[in-house]
Structure 1
Amino acid sequence: MENQGSGKTVRLATACTECQRRKQKCSREWPCNHCQSRRIAHLCKFTPKKVLKAKPASNERTHTPTNNADAVPDFQNAGGVASGEDFRMLGYLPDNLLKEGPDQYQSAVISPNPQGTIPSELEKAIRTLPPKPYTDMLVQHFLSEMNEQYYCLYPPTFLHDYAAWWSGKASGQSLAPEFTALLLQVCACATLYLDVEAMQRLESELGENSHDLAEQYHRTANQLSSTMSPGKGGLTQVQQLFINAVWYKTEALFIESWHALSAAIHEAQELGMHRSPAKAKVSEFEREMRRRIWCLLYTWDWQMSLLLSRPFIINSNYCSFELPNVRLETADAGTDMPSPVTHIALQSQLGLAISKIPGVMSGILSPNQAIAIQQEIERWFEMFPPAYRRTNPDTRWDHSHRYVPLQRHQLYAVSYMVMFMPLKQCLTIDADPSKPSLEKSLQPAAVDCATKVMDSARALLAHMLPASGKFHFAPFLIFDTAAFLCSAIIHDRARNLAHRDKALETIGIGLDALEQISQTTKAGATCYSVLARLTGRMPLSPEEKALLSSRTPEGSLEGPQTPPSVHAESATIVNVDAYDVNFTSSDILGGGMDMALPAGLDPSGTIDGLTGLDDILSMDMGEFSQIWDWDNLDLNNPGLYDT
């Protein structure tokens, strides 16, 4: 406190409210050191820093000019017709006058409406939830097994709200429908991911099939969600709509998941999450949660849109993006340990980078975009923290924090998947070898990139097994990559495909990986059966057949693995004067379930004696039928049958 002239200058404390209450020294940055270590970042709040002038003596005039930007002018006393509140609503006052959020974290589980008749949909939803011991088990399973993949829920506040929900239910309070729907969606997804022991316990004690229970929770949550007005459910409603999309994706209903994702994005836009959160009338903690959810929605949008060959839902040219605070879960500011949201922040940055390439936001990638996409991804790799870098990653947290190796594998798989997308056409084209062709020039890079997709997908699959048998991303990447390489071999009637031996080895590795999971997952059985028949149609020499069936020592999928460092191979520069293409291949490098299969598929069926490709092209891809199109392989050319 200082004396200045006739008045005293009073500086408000800059410590957060929790440190003031506990009389502790605060680090004065959000989240502060003490709140972070106690995992109560949602309670860490700083009051706006203001400078107040003591009231001058009564014999002094009170109209002394001031430069204080926080002073609110009295427009009515000045003869105006508008009040200060009127101008505040129009946005003409300084940003620091916007209302801050509540002093303490406010749970969203109790409805602000007075007690009365419970809506029928809410009453049904409350009855649908299993008794608390089973809900506890499902919630814990979701937070420990599924949430780390996306980190759509912040565990400390969700568990706080979860306890408040049960307390409110016991005391007869009005429960908020949005959190009730969120809780049902969590239970629905967790039920699909249960291990065999937990699934048997749930089924025996509740007397219902676990998959039927999951569908019941999910259906009831959607019925309750449909009664809510847009923009009224807050962040909780956006979270439950996103987990609705997760449920559809887990069930391999990719089209339905894309539409559910669209609903979550539109709800987020109703809350203004596509704009800068700096002016939002919320606490710093909610600002952080809004940043995280918006990055997550955008990441899902650009990846699913590319997989489905559809335009992006979010137009990044008209949105504001602020990266999440990756210190929220890390008590030691000096450590290099990544946050559970680091991989989402990185993937959103990649989406923003490639969305600026002309044509990418249409959802369809072509060879003309391959070089630009590869260059953006190379720049993106340089942003990785030590734990995720491609060469000699820092693995010290791999055993203590399971999400670190999982995120590392996800980042590798996503990056090589995106690199491979515009190169796929290069493997299936019948180009005239006497004429320069962009596609033909990119074939060496396409095969090299396919090898990296296969390696990263296998590492990710090994890390996910055995618990996450319904994780479709890795098996699909393995099948998709191997199928395009099979098409390349089938189209290679002149037997001059660049890196042909490497392509055959990669196909064999993919076939081996899918065979290992064919007895435990429906998706694996379908993909293995189709790929085995497709490989049987390739025109191979005896030496090449032996190469295809060879197995590498590290080919097992027995458990989590940390892949060896990725080292660039010697450069292979392809130069086609007609296209002015210089492409360096080294730049590209870097559960039990229902086993019913689609008709005609048998994972143990023979692959010999096929007389054509018609029987293969007519096969049903089962769970992947929504995102797989046989036409992409260009196997309908009658000339391909003449082998």
Structure 2
Amino acid sequence: MAPLPSPPPPPPPPPTSDPAHAAAAAAAPERRPARKRRRLVVSCTECHRRKQKCDRNQPCANCTSRNKASGCLYDAPAKSLPSLGTKESTSSQSMSSPPALPVYHDGGGGGATLSSVAAQLGYSHAGSSTMGFLRHIETQDPASSSTAGRFQVARRPGGRDTEALTSEKFKGLIRQLPAKRYLDRLVTIFLSTFNYQYYAVDPDVFHAQLQEWQSLPFKLLSTSGPHGLTPDLRVFPAVLFQMVATALLVVPEGDEEMEGLKYAAGMTFEDLAMDYSENGMAIVSLFGKTELALTTVLAEFLRAGFLKYTANVTESWHLISVAIKDAQELGMHRDSLDPKPTDGSAEAALENAWLIERRRKIYLILINWDIAMSMFLGRPGTINRAHGLPTPPVDTKAPVHRSRQSVVPRDEWNDPPTAIISVLWLRELQHHLFDVADLEQDGPRPKDYSKVDAIHERMVATEERKPAILRVVNPDTRWDHEPETAWVQHLRYHFAGLHAFNLMVLHRPYIFHRKKSRHEALKASLQILEMGRCMFHGLPPAHWRNYHLFFGSFDAIVLLSTIFMVFPQEHEALRQNALQQFQWTLERFSAMQERNPLARSAQGVLKAILAKLTKALNMPLPSTQQQADALPSATPASVLESTPFHPKSVNEQTPLAFAPGAPSTEGADDVAPVECAAHWTTPDNLAAMAPMYPTYDLLFNDLSVTTGPFDSMTIMDNPHPHPWHFGGGFGEDTVWTLLNQYPYGQQQAECG
């Protein structure tokens, strides 16, 4: 093949017409493009983009004010400027590079696991997610615990400054903890007065953490700060703050030993308790969600309990949801996410078994609170039972050495009761409320009431298998007078009231449409009020802040009053008993109003309801002597000493006619509302009535009354009282609008 011809040479440049210009062009050096300036970037990426001055904090003030704290990032440290001979491509590539993200590199012998790295990136703990796959890889691959399977997060610029700022805030908060002599007494008050109700704090674990905390060297806190502590220990002061704050609520004013804690004139122990509780939450908020620990969830629950004791029910309800989410981040909601022993020794296996029990117990407490408050307030809960619930904890004796004792169930006939029995029995009672919540989709007029009756029977069956030590009728009182188990006496009436509350909540939506539901709801309401009276007599005035004394009573009063006013021909045998219980409840709330804000806020509403109820029933109020017998002495001596508590049978205090679960003597057919003489006709649109949640209206809808010119409780003695009307942010289809239509000031004709 012949070779291809070579291409022709390029044509010569055209001759210039200006010899001087051509000579100057030949002598000039080759010009380079202008080099861009490379200033050292010290601002965060957001401030640099917006050309704003940055204070170099993490997050900076500008990002905080714009609610962009999560996007406040800093570039990698700028290197020295390149020499003039650096290629342009290097300069342009450096200037156009995106902001540096946290870099994960092989850390040798330490650092975070793959799953913890994924958690920091926001992946879920669910078993079918990326996080679950990483956990599976770590578990199956033996090399995951070696250097090949561990990664470490490189500290990004500004992280050291952030840690220093967090350390200073942390030290400033823990300096406000009470001195040891105050702390020891307040911790003792909390463990003996409050902890038995839910047993969220394990005394042996708490005292071990307290000893470890008090033995920390000052140098460690000064140099390493909270980041040099374990995740549980760094949040432990938050638990201390919440326990101290709750205990201060029952310390009587004028206690000379505790007066030294106050730092301002006119300060009360409740004011001081608020400060301590806020400090505890400030410690929790110092650490992000990637540094959660079991102690974090415990501190949040104790804070929710404190808020409930101080009548901040809304804030308590929201914080319980936060605690549940944090617990789920720790995998407390599934048995498959339980922690594994740190090594293969028997001691590690035993300690891990007790840790699993603690996790399950705390999560069960959160479940009980979530469903109970959702029914109490009429709002959806955070926990969905359809997603599955973890195994409940074991009723076992508290261990002396967790690394030497195994988890063995308690012998209920020979061993003294443990406080965890309250958590377990609450679970037996409250799991029925999930079934009640499922009924809401059928509305107040379901196709049939078989589901309602089935749930009712299950509730009654649960009450019948209650442990003997928790029964009100013929209880097992062997441990009542032991100092470690005296709390059993109070729990008996509390659990009996909860059972009645569940029955009331079950039948409450159907009272306008079903006679049997009215009867069962009325019996349950009377039982709630009676159990509240028994609990009231068993607590000294210093403990009247306990929200159990208010829980359910207000709802029961509104429900039974509505039934008697809308259906006055029914339940004639229970009228006198209802008025007596109403009067006792009103007297209790009046006595508690200085210590219980919820009882104080309900005073006016209860007086207005009583004014309408007495006219509806056309019956006088109980005598003054009966009212006086219902209240314990409130002398200074009674404040310091607890009232003797002697459990009695319900048969001795209340008629069996309204004992919850007793066979109904009335039919289950729908009964039309009754027209009472010519004074008032019950509205015919009862089917459109909204669900009844009186406590929610009191807390959220500013429920109030237009009161008359008198505060006397003897309403029947006033011949021309001013009408009482309910006001607030409720709708036209609520029970309050219905009660406002009921005439007051006219003598009601006796119906039936």
Q: Calculate the TM-score normalised by the size of structure 1.
A: 0.69
Report if aligned partners of 1:327, 1:339 keep a CA contact under 8 Å in 2: yes
Structure 1 residues 541, 220: CA separation in 2 closer, same or farther (over 3 Å shift)? closer
Find out whether 1:565 has 2:652 as its counterpart.
no
User: Residue 387 of structure 1 aligns to a residue in which SS?
Assistant: helix
Structure 1 residues 557, 336: CA separation in 2 closer, same or farther (over 3 Å shift)? farther
Deviation at 1:294, TM superposition (A): 0.9
Report if aligned partners of 1:250, 1:472 keep a CA contact under 8 Å in 2: yes
Find out whether 1:617 has 2:726 as its counterpart.
yes
Structure 1 residues 525, 255: CA separation in 2 closer, same or farther (over 3 Å shift)? closer
Q: Which amino acid aligns with 2:726?
A: L
Residue 455 (structure 2) aligns with: 373
5 Å-filtered alignment, 1:436-455, equals 437-438=513-514, 440-455=515-530
5 Å-filtered alignment, 1:162-181, equals 162-170=210-218, 172-173=220-221, 174-175=225-226, 176-181=233-238
Superposed CA offset, 1:576-634 (max 9, x none): 4579xxxxxxxxxxxxxxxxxx998899922545978964413x8xxxx99x9994455
Structure 1 residues 218, 519: CA separation in 2 closer, same or farther (over 3 Å shift)? closer
Larger radius of gyration: 2
Picking from 487, 502, 506, the partner of 1:403 is 487
Structure 1 residues 294, 380: CA separation in 2 closer, same or farther (over 3 Å shift)? same
Residue 415 (structure 1) aligns with: 499
Distance 1:571 1:515 in 2: 35
Residue 352 (structure 1) aligns with: 431
Picking from 179, 198, 207, the partner of 1:150 is 198
Picking from 273, 281, 288, the partner of 1:229 is 288
Residue 243 (structure 2) aligns with: 186
Distance 2:487 2:239 in 1: 23
Deviation at 1:572, TM superposition (A): 3.3
Residue 262 (structure 1) aligns with: 321
Gaps of 5+ in 2: 1-132, 146-162, 227-232, 342-351, 401-409, 634-642, 672-703
Superposed CA offset, 1:194-214 (max 9, x none): 23454x532345334222322
Residue 259 (structure 2) aligns with: 203
Residue 326 (structure 1) aligns with: 395
Q: Which amino acid aligns with 1:575?
A: G
Report if aligned partners of 2:239, 2:280 keep a CA contact under 8 Å in 1: yes
Distance 1:602 1:164 in 2: 60
Find out whether 1:605 has 2:711 as its counterpart.
yes
Superposed CA offset, 1:373-427 (max 9, x none): 3222212224422201243110121121122112222211111111112334566
Deviation at 1:445, TM superposition (A): 2.2
Find out whether 1:311 has 2:393 as its counterpart.
no
Distance 1:504 1:144 in 2: 36
Structure 1 residues 153, 500: CA separation in 2 closer, same or farther (over 3 Å shift)? same
Report if aligned partners of 1:142, 1:190 keep a CA contact under 8 Å in 2: yes
5 Å-filtered alignment, 1:396-545, equals 396-400=478-482, 401-425=485-509, 429=512, 437-438=513-514, 440-492=515-567, 499-518=574-593, 521-540=596-615, 544-545=619-620
Residue 172 (structure 2) aligns with: 124
Structure 1 residues 603, 383: CA separation in 2 closer, same or farther (over 3 Å shift)? farther
Find out whether 1:302 has 2:405 as its counterpart.
no
Q: Which amino acid aligns with 1:420?
A: M
Report if aligned partners of 2:544, 2:596 keep a CA contact under 8 Å in 1: yes
Structure 1 residues 305, 571: CA separation in 2 closer, same or farther (over 3 Å shift)? closer
Distance 2:670 2:277 in 1: 56
Picking from 324, 336, 339, the partner of 1:280 is 339
Residue 78 (structure 1) aligns with: none
Report if aligned partners of 1:268, 1:274 keep a CA contact under 8 Å in 2: yes
Q: Which amino acid aligns with 2:541?
A: P
Gaps of 5+ in 1: 1-85, 99-114, 430-436, 580-597
Deviation at 1:243, TM superposition (A): 0.9
Structure 1 residues 537-546 or 360-369, which shifts more?
360-369
Deviation at 1:179, TM superposition (A): 1.0
Residue 124 (structure 2) aligns with: none
Residue 275 (structure 2) aligns with: 216
Deviation at 1:123, TM superposition (A): 1.4
Distance 2:257 2:706 in 1: 34
Report if aligned partners of 2:332, 2:390 keep a CA contact under 8 Å in 1: no
Deviation at 1:291, TM superposition (A): 1.2
Deviation at 1:520, TM superposition (A): 5.4
Distance 1:304 1:177 in 2: 30
Superposed CA offset, 1:107-137 (max 9, x none): xxxxxxxx98862321121122122222222
Find out whether 1:289 has 2:381 as its counterpart.
no
Distance 1:524 1:87 in 2: 52
Distance 2:442 2:551 in 1: 19
User: Residue 617 of structure 1 aligns to a residue in which SS?
Assistant: strand
Identity of aligned residues (%): 23
User: Residue 175 of structure 2 aligns to a residue in which SS?
Assistant: helix
Report if aligned partners of 2:445, 2:510 keep a CA contact under 8 Å in 1: no
Structure 1 residues 602, 459: CA separation in 2 closer, same or farther (over 3 Å shift)? farther
Structure 1 residues 612, 513: CA separation in 2 closer, same or farther (over 3 Å shift)? same
Structure 1 residues 136, 539: CA separation in 2 closer, same or farther (over 3 Å shift)? closer
Superposed CA offset, 1:517-556 (max 9, x none): 3465444444445423431233449982154767289734
Distance 2:305 2:214 in 1: 25
Structure 1 residues 293, 259: CA separation in 2 closer, same or farther (over 3 Å shift)? same
Structure 1 residues 634, 460: CA separation in 2 closer, same or farther (over 3 Å shift)? farther
Please, what is the CA RMSD of the aligned residues?
4.0
Distance 2:245 2:168 in 1: 20
Find out whether 1:389 has 2:435 as its counterpart.
no
Deviation at 1:359, TM superposition (A): 1.9
Q: Which amino acid aligns with 2:741?
A: P
User: Residue 544 of structure 2 aligns to a residue in which SS?
Assistant: coil
